[in-house]
Amino acid sequence: MSASATSEPAAPEAPALVPEGTADDNLPYFSAIVDEVWGSDRRGEGRAYVDALVEAGFDRVAMQVTEDLTTVGNPAESMQFSVRWDDQCLIGQVGPDVGETVARVLPALEDGTVCLLGDTRPIDW
């Protein structure tokens, strides 16, 4: 028996940032980061998603995030965050009412500069 017949197949490559790619090209990487944060003890912190995405190479200036607390101080039932990628948006949603993480590519809104409607919190850290 030859060595190639007994060797195990190569493990699939982990998703990676594709700087020259499209939002769709980067969705697997975005999803993997969202899943990783969701599996951590910081799953309910919007900042944790932003920080992880920045660390992974996404542009902080192109991001939006909703509040992680309600107006009365309770944890938000769901939270959204986004990264604008040209005229598209990588959008993530998490929270107790969402269940599993959600990650999608959707068109940018308004003049192409925002991804999320309504009030978002400043990313000023």
Which distant-in-sequence residues (6+ apart) come within 8 Å of 103 by Cβ? 27, 30, 31, 34, 90, 91, 92, 93
Phi and psi, residue 103, nearest 5°: -140, 130
pLDDT over 60 at 93, yes or no: yes
Whether residue 47 is contained in a domain is answered as yes
Domain count for the chain: 1
Please enumerate in sequence order all residues whose Cβ is within 8 A of that of 100, keeping only pairs 6 or more positions apart, or say none: none
Host domain of residue 47: 22-107
11 pLDDT tier (thresholds 50, 70, 90): confident
- 16 located within any domain: no
Q: Is residue 7 domain-resident?
A: no
How do residues 15-43 score in pLDDT, each as one tens digit? 999 999 999 999 999 999 999 999 999 99
Q: Are 94 and 38 in contact (CB under 8 A)?
A: yes
Helices (H), the chain: 3-6, 23-38, 46-55
Give the tens place of pLDDT for each residue, 66-79: 999 999 999 999 99
| The model's pTM | 0.88
pLDDT (0 to 100) of residue 13? 84
Judge whether 66 lies within some domain: yes
Is 60 among the domain residues? Answer: yes
